[in-house]
Chain A
Amino acid sequence: MTFPTRPLVLGLLAVGFSALIFSRAQAGGGHYYPPVTDPVVKEECGSCHLAFPASMLPAASWQRMMQELDNHFGDNASVDPALAKKITAYLVANAGDTGGQAYGSKLLRGVTPASAPQRITSLPKWVREHREVPDWEWRHKDVRSKANCTACHADAELGHYED
């Protein structure tokens, strides 16, 4: 039984190490937010809009959002309770004030996590980063919504938000 564990552990160590180097390199720019990797979250939270990176909001935000999915910004995004539990666990574990802190802390500057903000696009830092975007650009037919990150950040699906 010990035979297969050893290479597995070594393999995991190798992956973990290179992932660390990789994420350090990318986090350095301050605009890398690891994309959602969990297939369930990607499917359930990524069909109407980009599956927003968990690190862009604090854990309390995700907890509240997941409890109000039947009225999700006017849409009914509810999922069955077992799925909701799984999704919540993923989002909370990788939130900007928990596991995703290294990525999210800049974007969450000035935010009280307990206030559980529901929009990334209302975070003070997000608003500041986008204050130079002209009005006509927001209204452009290919943009239409501030939540349409991919319209301007072509690599948003990969987690990159420089323009």
Chain B
Amino acid sequence: MKLRLALCCLAALCHSLVASAGPLEEQLTTYAAAAKIANPAFAGFSAARGEKLHTTRFALGKPDTPACTTCHGSDPRSSGNTLTGKRIEPVALSASPGRYADPAKVEKWFKRNCNEVLGRACSPLEKGDWLTFVSSR
């Protein structure tokens, strides 16, 4: 009985430790590991590089979506709009606290949106930078 109680406490503790890391942190850790493999000199993500990715007019994907800001707007704390008129909640984590909690959702939209803007997938470095940028706002 005592052992059982102790195990329960341990499980609860572990659980809260994992929970406190959060899905976004875990996803960033995964991207960091991949970025390090791609480039051993990788020394961490940069919000500044993420901001540049967000605001640069690449025009390498679809003609009507040259930049992330085309849909997400230039201020990450304001809402954006798709070309078909659907409102998009702000990308800044401070303005949309519920965001980036579902790694599969994040990956799905990186895949779609990087392709629309850059005409290719984003690298783990770019994804990590971008998420660092929006988490810092």
Question: Is A150 a contact of B85 with CB atoms below 8 Å?
Answer: yes
Q: Is B112 an interface residue (CB 8 A)?
A: yes
Q: Report the interface size for chain A: residues with CB under 8 A from the other chain.
A: 18
Query: B85, B88, B112, B115: which has the most chain A beta carbons within 10 Å?
Result: B85
Instruction: Give Cα A79 to B112, complex, Å.
Output: 11
Q: Is A135 an interface residue (CB 8 A)?
A: no
Residue of A nearest to B111 (CB): A76
Query: A48, A50, A147, A150: which has the most chain B beta carbons within 10 Å?
Result: A48
Residue of B nearest to A150 (CB): B85
Q: Is B86 an interface residue (CB 8 A)?
A: yes
Give the A-binding residues of B (Cβ under 8 A). Answer: 62, 82-86, 88, 108, 111-112, 115-116
Question: Is B85 a contact of A75 with CB atoms below 8 Å?
Answer: no
Residues of B within 8 A of A47 (CB): 82, 86, 88
Residues of A within 8 A of B116 (CB): 75
Residue of B nearest to A48 (CB): B82
A to B contact number (C-beta, < 8 Å): 36
Q: Distance (Å) between the CB of B72 and the closest chain A CB?
A: 13
Question: Is A48 a contact of B115 with CB atoms below 8 Å?
Answer: no
Q: List 12 A-B contacts (CB under 8 A).
A: A47-B82, A47-B88, A49-B86, A50-B84, A75-B116, A76-B112, A77-B112, A144-B85, A145-B84, A147-B84, A148-B84, A150-B86
A102-139 CB mask vs B (1 if < 8 Å, else 0) is 00000000000000000000000000000000000000
Instruction: Give Cα A47 to B84, complex, Å.
Output: 10
Q: Is A16 an interface residue (CB 8 A)?
A: no
Complex partner residue of B85 from A74, A76, A79, A143, CB under 8 angstroms: A143
Q: Is A151 an interface residue (CB 8 A)?
A: yes
Residue of A nearest to B87 (CB): A150
Q: Distance (Å) between the CB of A21 and the closest chain B CB?
A: 32
- Other A-B pairs, 19, CB within 8 Å; known A49-B84, A143-B85: A46-B86, A47-B88, A48-B82, A49-B85, A49-B86, A50-B84, A75-B116, A76-B115, A79-B108, A144-B83, A144-B84, A144-B85, A145-B83, A145-B84, A145-B85, A147-B84, A148-B84, A148-B85, A150-B86
Residues of B within 8 A of A144 (CB): 83-85
Interface positions of A from 8 to 50, Cβ below 8 Å from B: 46-50
Complex partner residue of A48 from B62, B86, B108, CB under 8 angstroms: B86
Top 4 A-B pairs ranked by shortest CB distance? Answer: A148-B85, A49-B84, A145-B84, A48-B82
